[in-house]
Amino acid sequence: MRVGLRTRVVLTTSLVLLIGLALGGWVLVRSFSASVVAGAEEQLRLVVYGLLGAADVDDQQLSFASDFAEPRFVLPESGLYALVENAAQETLWQSPSLQMTELESLHFNELDEPGRFDFHADERFFYMSYRVIWEDAGEVLLTFRVFTSREPYLAEISGFQRTLTIGVAGVVLLLIVAQYLAVAWGINPVKVMAQRVRDLENGHRQRLGEDFPPELTGLARNLDRFIAHEADSRDRYRRAMDDLAHSLKTPLAVLRNGLAEGQTDADGLLTEQLNRMETAVSYQLSRAVAPPSPMLTVPVPVAGSTRRICNALNVAYASKNVVAEQNIHEGLAVRVNEGDLLELLGNVIENAFKYCVSRVQVSAYRRFAGDPTSAQVVVVVEDDGEGIEPSLRAQVLARGARADTEAPGQGIGLAVVVELLNGYGGTLEIDAAELGGARVSLHLPAA
């Protein structure tokens, strides 16, 4: 089952919140109980000191100073009790509050050496015992035992627990509600985007728009670009196919008529039609092949592709002994599909190899055109051949555009390059090289 974004966030954070607060509450209750017990111990110790101070042993008889007054010792079942034992564990004195209590039900600890406080608890009482040797009356061993009911302390702890639970529950509730609202607010733009994508699918919208929070505008913009690119590719494809169909019709008609008439190719008419068809297919297919979306293109270093092309051409043109100079910074990269880059460079550099006398020079530089997103890499290919006449330059680039009326035998390499470049928003320029031949500059989107 797919769990929604909101459920995921609310569920996990609520769970963490609950566990965290429960753990915190438990620790608080524990430390509060410990401090309550420590308070009880301290209180009982003070009572023992009070008893010691008021006690007097005279002739084996224990008595208390008349001004010793602890009202809770007097009142039966008051909750605070005391008794004093001798060495034989016989009770010498007990507080009046003990009158109604069964002494057997009390759990006293056995004490070994004098001078030490012993504190412990059972279900009903906190006990504090202290053994002392009374030297004034000839070393009499006495044990003072004071104990108090646990009930008020337990009540205090459970009261604290109750308050804490209510408080924590309130906080948890508040946080969960706040969090739910925050998540709802936070994912609202995503819901809006999802709705708009549905609208796109239904054809109610053409683009997502830009009114999204900054975290999503990039995604929305990229999606819009992608959609526009797709639409553009479809359009290119359709137009190229239309043009191809159109430019094949004439030569096909000529060939069919020629066949019907039993015509031979003596005057080269049929060959000419075949050439036209070949040119039309190559050119229009190169137009139809849409380049991938710029965001899906990884940066490709220009130097590497140029090197591969030059090495390959050096093999293919081995007998010409062309000196190919490459002056390209290794870090220079373009956002062009690698195969397309090889196609572009291959066609242009091969022309240079074909028409040069002995030297070809390939260089590249980065050019900024104001906006950093439209930075370009310009690849310049020069040769020392005869160059291209200024009057012929436009014609060279336009070749293929009118494939159905074109003279046979003309190359369409540069026209294909121009079409491919168009897909990337790039351009091509032809002028004269310092080496003496043609200089072809390719403007490509920089990475």
Partner 1 sequence: MRVLLVEDEAPLREQLERQLRAAGYVVDSAADGEEGLYFGREYDYDAAIIDIGLPKIDGLELIVRLRKDAHDFPVLILTARSHWQDKVTGLEAGADDYLAKPFHTEELLARLNALVRRSGGFASPLLEKGELALDTSRKEVTVSGNAVQLTAFEYRLLEYLLLNSDRVISKTELTDHLYEQDYDRDSNVIEVFIGRLRKKLDPDGALQPIKTVRGQGYRLAIDSSG
What backbone phi and psi angles, to 5 degrees, belong to 196? -70, -35
Distance of closest approach, residue 353 Cβ to partner 1, in angstroms: 12
Q: Please state the closest distance from residue 409 (CB atom) to partner 1, in A.
A: 10
Q: Return residues touching partner 1 (CB under 8 A).
A: 278, 282, 285-286, 308-309, 311-312, 315-316, 318-319, 338-339, 342-343, 345-347, 416
The sign one gets for the Cα dihedral 298, 303, 306, 312 is negative
Closer of 100 and 266 to partner 1 (Cβ): 266
Least distance CB 343 / partner 1 (angstroms): 5
* Beta strand spans in 153-194 (E): none
Sequence letter at residue 253: A
Nearer to partner 1, 227 or 342 (CB): 342
Q: Which residues of 191-201 are buried (b: 16+ CB within 10 A; e: fewer)?
A: eebeebeeebe
Q: Smallest distance from the beta carbon of 276 to partner 1, in angstroms?
A: 13
Query: Least distance from C-beta 321 to partner 1, angstroms?
Result: 8
In this complex, which beta carbon is closest to partner 1, that of residue 112 or of residue 267? 267
Q: How many CB atoms lie within 10 A of CB 159?
A: 10
Distance CA 430, CA 447 (A): 24
Of residues 129 and 305, the one with the C-beta less far from partner 1: 305
From residue 197, alpha-carbon distances to 186, 306, 378, 393, 441 in Å are 18, 42, 38, 46, 41
- 8 or 320: CB nearest partner 1: 320
Look up residue 142 and give its DSSP letter.
E
By C-beta, is 95 or 306 nearer to partner 1? 306
Encoded amino acid at 88, one letter: A
Q: How many CA atoms lie within 13 A of 5 on its CB side?
A: 11
Q: In what order do the strands lie in the sheet with 140-149?
A: 91-94, 80-85, 140-149, 125-134, 117-121
Q: Which tokens is 343 given?
A: 């196609």
H helices, E strands: number in the chain: 9, 14
Nearer to partner 1, 345 or 360 (CB): 345
Cβ contact 311:275 at 8 Å = no
Measured from the CB atom, the residue of 25 and 411 that comes closer to partner 1 is 411
Three-state DSSP class for residue 444: strand
Nearer residue to partner 1 within complex by CB, 278 or 431:
278
The strand pairing partners of 141, in sequence order, are 133
The three-class DSSP label of residue 306 is helix
- The least distance separating partner 1 from the CB of residue 366, rounded to whole angstroms, comes to 24
Shortest Cβ 212–partner 1 spacing (Å) = 39
What's the rounded Cα separation, in Å, for the pair 54 and 67? Answer: 8
